[in-house]
Chain A
Amino acid sequence: DAKTTQPNSMESNEEEPVHLPCNHSTISGTDYIHWYRQLPSQGPEYVIHGLTSNVNNRMASLAIAEDRKSSTLILHRATLRDAAVYYCILREDNQGGKLIFGQGTELSVKP
């Protein structure tokens, strides 16, 4: 399984944008880039995913580098409720959809 590398922790101020980086230099052509987050005392929550092009949804944006070796999850205006552990995961379509979680980035948001 291809691996991802994320910073252990990041801090943000409320109502400011947050850019969460992820490196995946061994990504293969069939790997999708998925982001999940886990709020305290809850199960992981799907955020966004993409293959090659940048993606936007109501929660966040995903910017994927042209060589696909890195990506950035963008929260446009951080709120206190966005404080969570964010996981960047590579998932192959032909492997039953299992998710291999790394350590993730713990995001704290200051008021």
Chain B
Amino acid sequence: DSGVTQTPKHLITATGQRVTLRCSPRSGDLSVYWYQQSLDQGLQFLIQYYNGEERAKGNILERFSAQQFPDLHSELNLSSLELGDSALYFCARTPEGNQPQHFGDGTRLSIL
């Protein structure tokens, strides 16, 4: 058990649409990270939140945004979806930023 719950597990939608992916870390885990895994780009870091504040930003498109709520769950919002956004999206948690990360099972997003 990684201590990270991601919902939904699968999401199928169309181009131009908007979706929200949810990540619920274990209680007390302050850091949440989002990663994207696609066939051509591999695993890429998108963004990190620490205790509600954005801590680090990676290769995240402007069409994507994220936030972390007071209960420490996080949401990744993807808008104006394109075919190339089809990928696995992973959330990871740590109690503190420098400890090993524990990943959820991901949300598989398919754009038709």
Q: Which residues of A contact B (CB under 8 A)?
A: 34, 38, 42-46, 49, 87, 93, 95-103
Contact = CB atoms under 8 A, between A and B. Distances in A.
Given A97-B31, A97-B48, A101-B42, A46 B101 contact: yes
B55 A96 contact: yes
B64 interface: no
Contacts, number: 59
11 contacts: A43-B90, A44-B103, A45-B2, A95-B56, A97-B33, A98-B56, A99-B33, A100-B45, A101-B35, A102-B42, A103-B42
A13 B48 CA distance: 39
Contacts of B102: 46
Contact of B44 (A42, A49, A87, A101): A101
B43 interface: yes
List the 9 closest A-B pairs by CB distance, nearest first.
Answer: A43-B103, A96-B56, A101-B43, A46-B100, A97-B97, A96-B55, A98-B45, A44-B103, A43-B90
Nearest to B102: A46
A68 B111 CA distance: 43
Interface of B: 2, 4, 31, 33, 35, 42-45, 48, 50, 55-56, 58, 90, 92, 94, 97-106
A96 B31 CA distance: 9
B104 A43 contact: yes
A38 B45 CA distance: 15
Given A95-B56, A97-B97, A98-B58, A43 B42 contact: no
A95 B58 CA distance: 11
Contacts of B94: 97
Nearest to A97: B97
Given A96-B97, A98-B33, 20 more contacts: A43-B105, A44-B90, A44-B103, A45-B2, A45-B103, A46-B102, A96-B48, A96-B50, A96-B56, A97-B97, A97-B101, A98-B45, A98-B48, A99-B43, A99-B92, A99-B101, A101-B35, A101-B43, A101-B44, A101-B45
